[in-house]
Amino acid sequence: MSELRHPPGTFDVLPPDSARWEAFAATFARVVEAAGYGLILTPTFEDVAVFKRVGESTDVVRKEMYDFEDKGGRHIALRPEVTASVARAFIQHRPALPWKTWYAGSNFRYERPQAGRYREFRQVGIEAFGTDDADLDVEVIALGWEFYRALGVNRVELQLNSLGDANCRPAYRELLLNYLRERRDDLCDDHKERLEENPLRVLDCKKEPCRDLVKAVPLQIDHLCDECSTHFARVRQGLDALGIDYTLAPLLVRGLDYYTRTTFEYTGLALESAQNGIGGGGRYDGLVAAMGGPQTPAVGFALGVDRTLLAAEAEGAVLGRQPGVDVFVVDFAGGEAARDLTAALRSAGIKADRAYDNRSAKAQFKAADRSGARFAIVVGPDEAVAGNVGIKDLQQGGDQSTIPAAGVVDEVRRRLGG
């Protein structure tokens, strides 16, 4: 029988490396909860319609979705992103506005696996519903920015664009479509066929013919209506006021259809350019209505956890404490003391571990070293009889001292400095 392995495009994260993922989520929660965002949990799978409505013309929905019929005959999809689920939950529960949420979890896309591009990948994100105030766009962008700093990822470029709204986008779309129709022969094969469906997709097409062609296309930021133009100016002022540098990126449309007005992307400059998008987002004022809810403006972002961690690594940022225990109980008097002392230490809030199977003192000391514990509590037959234990500093060395077993918790606390 061949060895079982994880599926292509997925990976395992084992301790101690997993401490980086833990630190990521904890730091994110700290940053966004300080700005009034509350955790939302939604299902990892949804009725496929939740995602169909948000991106019929995108690769994420057309080609990459993990969808299937379940045993009850429902057409289900593993979520390729979280925003649509949060919008669905908003429509279903109608919380009071403004509604500010954050999430963390896995997404699934059937992509060609490569470094920084996986079939299961994790994202954290925030979504804020209920106002089109440009200051909220600034708040959202700034929180992502602040989070990267808090994580120690400093080489980040912020790219910013405005995609207009239901007022000015249709006219721009026509303008762009006409421009591209006249040059259809110069498009990549895919866009020759799909041009009419969504001409905006051409703007961020990675293929050479399209990239050449878009150098001179009409741009949405030059054709914004007055409201969108004022909104965009206010966003830019806000970022300037907060000292957040950005690059104008008039070709930035992002991979999902629902964005309006502000769109942005964070690029990890320490990463290879093919997969250096570490996060992105924008305003999606039309999404809730498009999904059958009341007209509700909203803005948010999603940051790629796995890829941001690659950026952190490339920048040499050290993330996460090494998981480990404070105390390791070495017991060669039968194991009862190890059982009882680890329980007592743990309930006193001291991290404690032990060996099992009555191993030799030598094997247990080896395990104690490997555990990273600061102290070994040593119980030999003589100590056990006298009601004592030995305590030894494994990191600073020195002699083992003998203390009463009943005083272990206090002694360890004292020595740990708490």
The contact set with ligand AMP (CB under 6 A) reads 81, 109, 111, 116-118, 121, 123, 254-255, 277-280, 302, 304, 306-307
Smallest gap from Cβ 269 to ligand AMP, in A, equals 14
Q: 81 or 326: whose CB is closer to ligand AMP?
A: 81
CB 390 within 8 A of CB 378: yes
Q: 258 or 365: whose CB is closer to ligand AMP?
A: 258
* Cα dihedral: 286, 296, 288, 278 (round 10): 70
The residue sitting closest to ligand AMP, measured at its beta carbon, is: 304
Smallest gap from Cβ 85 to ligand AMP, in A, equals 12
Smallest gap from Cβ 61 to ligand AMP, in A, equals 11
Q: 71 or 112: whose CB is closer to ligand AMP?
A: 112
How many other C-beta atoms are found inside a 10 Å radius of the C-beta of residue 70?
9
Smallest gap from Cβ 254 to ligand AMP, in A, equals 6
Residue in this structure with the two tokens 């809730």, named with its chain if needed: 288
What is the Cα–Cα distance from 233 to 244, expressed in whole angstroms? 15
Q: 151 or 278: whose CB is closer to ligand AMP?
A: 278
Q: 81 or 257: whose CB is closer to ligand AMP?
A: 81
Smallest gap from Cβ 134 to ligand AMP, in A, equals 21
Smallest gap from Cβ 51 to ligand AMP, in A, equals 12
Give the start-end residues of each E strand in 149-294. 156-162, 247-248, 260-268, 277-283
DSSP string, 47-101: EHHHHHHHHTTSHHHHTS--EEE-TTS-EEEE-S-SHHHHHHHHHHH-PPSSEEE
Q: 102 or 375: whose CB is closer to ligand AMP?
A: 102
* Cα dihedral: 388, 393, 398, 403 (round 10): -20
Q: 121 or 375: whose CB is closer to ligand AMP?
A: 121
CA angle 178, 183, 185 (to 5 degrees): 135
What is the Cα–Cα distance from 249 to 80, expressed in whole angstroms? 25
Q: 93 or 112: whose CB is closer to ligand AMP?
A: 112
Q: 277 or 286: whose CB is closer to ligand AMP?
A: 277
Pairing mode, strands 260-268 and 38-39:
unpaired
Q: 122 or 191: whose CB is closer to ligand AMP?
A: 122
Smallest gap from Cβ 113 to ligand AMP, in A, equals 8
CB 229 within 8 A of CB 210: no
Three-class SS state of 304: strand
CB 368 within 8 A of CB 361: no
Three-class SS state of 375: strand
Smallest gap from Cβ 266 to ligand AMP, in A, equals 7
Three-class SS state of 2: coil
Smallest gap from Cβ 403 to ligand AMP, in A, equals 52
Give the start-end residues of each E strand in 75-176. 75-78, 99-108, 120-129, 156-162
Q: 99 or 258: whose CB is closer to ligand AMP?
A: 258
What is the Cα–Cα distance from 151 to 250, expressed in whole angstroms? 29
What is the Cα–Cα distance from 223 to 252, expressed in whole angstroms? 15
Start-to-end C-alpha separation, the chain: 53
Smallest gap from Cβ 308 to ligand AMP, in A, equals 7
Smallest gap from Cβ 174 to ligand AMP, in A, equals 26
Sheet strands side by side (includes 45-47): 45-47, 75-78, 67-69
